[in-house]
């Protein structure tokens, strides 16, 4: 597998280059080209009981010869100390819980893999690299935990002061060591602007080795394909059928990864793109018109995206064909009122607590099943199996879950622990001068 920019498909580069450059030199995103056909591998994946084994075999197939097969296997094993859990809800619906990693959200899969891959590819080199990221909340914690303690890598995380939750702040400021938190007196947009300026500044580039690990990096997308390959090959749990997969979406990285897995040979019946009222993609899927607009605030705030960056990659997969995309992906949007009702109903019926993002996916899956024409094997048929991706632990959104259900979700040990630790952050103003002084002083 090689990687090409979405605007210059003819020129391709290695996984290593795509990983360390982040954005293609022409400013577009990297996407995989010439991926191997995995359909021959599917039967052997079906026989592997553990996620780590599936991940190792899939990585060996996908990343070789760029990364030799054995190294790709050990990279996958080292990246994931946690697994997805497939949980049946009823006859038709299963949840794929992706929140068993260190920060209790699915972003741990991408962050842990990119950190392990960078560490492995830097082995034997001298000098250190500096990862610079801006976060509005969740990504920062996942990146901080993933890079913590990795050899030859420092990570600097910029976050907007007073605009992230207590738990989010603790997740990115309590690790210490090679993880450095900068509390910026400004907004998330200021943080992003500062990071962009740092990457463009000649003085910093000549004295540091700045690298990005943001959500558009292909190194965070590839590992997300792995849990689709795992879930889609659990034949017994899926009662022998190809699943419909419903993905709560914001920037559409997660859905894009699923569509890659299907393109490479995983049997999938179809996808459901579930959004909150920020429904730019569902509108496109219905009408063929893509009209980005400013995002609205909702309960599922990690999906409050008005111009999803991975839409470019989805279009690339379907070669710009609206018919092609719309025949594979059904769009559905869900209001906050419905999200709350869903959390309450699912708790009442099954004793399960859903976080608001998962609840959006669950409601969309129910709408899909209810809207089918009940033909022999159409949507809503007796045999249809819908996997809803569960993207965060309910305790991460404790207040919203309590308001909707009356129940306070139990906090996992790892979240409770980090709340007890002292915050370590350096405060800076939202100016490039302060950021660059800090970087040169600390790493120059």
Ligand X SMILES: *Cc1c(COP(=O)(O)O)cnc(C)c1O
Residues that bind ligand X (CB under 6 A): 105, 107, 138, 248-254, 302-303, 357, 391-392
- Closer to ligand X at the Cβ: 92 or 357? 357
DSSP secondary structure of 61-99: HHHTTTS-HHHHHHHHHHH-SS--EEEE-SSSEEEEE--
* Residue appearing with tokens 């002292």: 422
Cβ proximity to ligand X: between 221 and 418 the closer is 221
**Pick from 16, 67, 58: which is nearest to 40 by CA?**
58
Q: How many CB atoms lie within 10 A of CB 203?
A: 11
In sequence order, the 6+-apart residues with CB closer than 8 A to the CB of 94 are: 86, 87, 88, 237, 238, 243, 385, 386, 387, 388
Q: CB-wise, 58 or 221, nearer to ligand X?
A: 221
Least Å distance between CB 311 and ligand X?
10
Nearest to ligand X of 19, 257 (CB atom): 257
Tell me the closest approach of the beta carbon of residue 17 to ligand X, in angstroms: 23
Q: Minimum distance from CB of 433 to ligand X (Å)?
A: 32
CB of 114 to ligand X, least distance (A): 14
- Give me the least distance between CB of 357 and ligand X, in Å please: 4
Residue 249 CB, shortest distance to ligand X, in Å, is: 4
**Residue whose entry in the numeric block shows the structure tokens 């010439």:** 34
Q: For the residues of 266-310, what is the DSSP string, one character each?
A: ---SEEEEEESS--HHHHHHHHS-----PPPP-SSGGG--SS-TT
Q: How far apart are CA 102 and CA 257, in angstroms?
A: 21
Q: How many CB atoms lie within 10 A of CB 235?
A: 14
CB of 303 to ligand X, least distance (A): 5
Nearest to 409 by CA among 355, 360, 342, 359: 355
Peptide bond into 65 cis (omega under 30): yes
Between 195 and 302, CB nearer to ligand X: 302
Nearest to 258 by CA among 217, 216, 219, 229: 229
| DSSP three-state, residue 348 | helix
Cβ of residue 2: shortest distance to ligand X, in angstroms?
A: 23
Q: How far is the CB of 432 from ligand X (least distance, A)?
A: 28
136/178 with CB nearer ligand X = 136
Q: Pick between residue 80 and residue 397 the one whose CB is nearest to ligand X.
A: 397
Residue closer to ligand X, measured from CB, 48 or 277: 277
Length of the chain: 444
Query: DSSP character for 394?
Result: G
Specify the residue, 119 or 160, whose C-beta has the smaller distance to ligand X. 160
């Amino acid at each position: 597998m090689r990687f090409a920019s979405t605007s210059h498909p003819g020129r391709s580069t290695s996984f290593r280059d795509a990983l360390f450059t982040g954005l293609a030199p022409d400013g577009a995103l990297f996407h995989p080209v010439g991926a191997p056909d995995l359909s021959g591998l599917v039967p052997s994946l079906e026989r592997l009981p553990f996620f780590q084994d599936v991940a190792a075999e899939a990585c060996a197939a996908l990343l070789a010869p760029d990364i030799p097969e054995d190294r790709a296997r050990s990279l996958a094993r080292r990246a994931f100390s946690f697994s997805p859990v497939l949980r049946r809800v009823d006859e038709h619906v299963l949840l794929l819980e992706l929140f068993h990693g260190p920060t209790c959200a699915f972003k741990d899969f991408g962050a842990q893999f990119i950190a392990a891959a960078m560490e492995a590819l830097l082995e034997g080199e001298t000098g250190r690299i500096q990862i610079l990221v801006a976060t509005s909340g969740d990504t920062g914690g996942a990146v901080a935990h993933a890079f913590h303690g990795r050899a030859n890598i420092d990570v600097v995380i910029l976050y907007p002061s007073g605009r992230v939750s207590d738990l989010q702040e603790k997740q990115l400021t309590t690790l210490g060591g090679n993880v450095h938190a900068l509390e910026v007196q400004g907004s998330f947009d200021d943080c992003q602007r500062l990071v962009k300026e740092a990457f463009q500044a000649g003085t910093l580039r000549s004295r540091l080795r700045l690298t990005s690990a943001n959500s558009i990096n292909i190194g965070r997308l590839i590992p997300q394909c792995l849990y689709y390959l795992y879930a889609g090959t659990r034949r017994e749990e899926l009662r022998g059928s190809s699943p419909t997969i419903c993905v709560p979406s914001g920037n559409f990285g997660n859905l894009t990864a699923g569509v890659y897995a299907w393109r490479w040979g995983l049997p999938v019946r179809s996808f459901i793109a579930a959004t909150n009222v920020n429904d730019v993609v569902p509108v496109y899927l219905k009408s063929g018109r893509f009209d980005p607009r400013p995002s609205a605030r909702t309960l599922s705030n990690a999906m409050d995206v008005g111009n999803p960056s991975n839409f470019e990659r989805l279009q690339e997969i379907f070669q710009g064909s609206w018919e092609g995309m719309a025949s594979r992906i059904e769009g559905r949007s869900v209001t906050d009122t419905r999200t709350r009702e869903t959390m309450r109903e699912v708790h009442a019926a099954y004793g399960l607590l859903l976080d608001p993002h998962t609840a959006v996916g669950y409601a969309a899956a129910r709408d899909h099943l209810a809207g089918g024409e009940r033909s022999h094997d159409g949507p809503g048929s007796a045999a249809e199996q819908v996997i809803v991706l569960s993207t965060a632990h309910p305790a991460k959104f404790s207040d919203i879950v309590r308001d909707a259900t009356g129940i306070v979700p139990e906090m996992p040990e790892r979240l409770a622990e980090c709340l007890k630790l002292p915050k370590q952050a350096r405060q800076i103003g939202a100016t490039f001068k302060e950021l660059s002084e800090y970087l040169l002083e600390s790493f120059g």
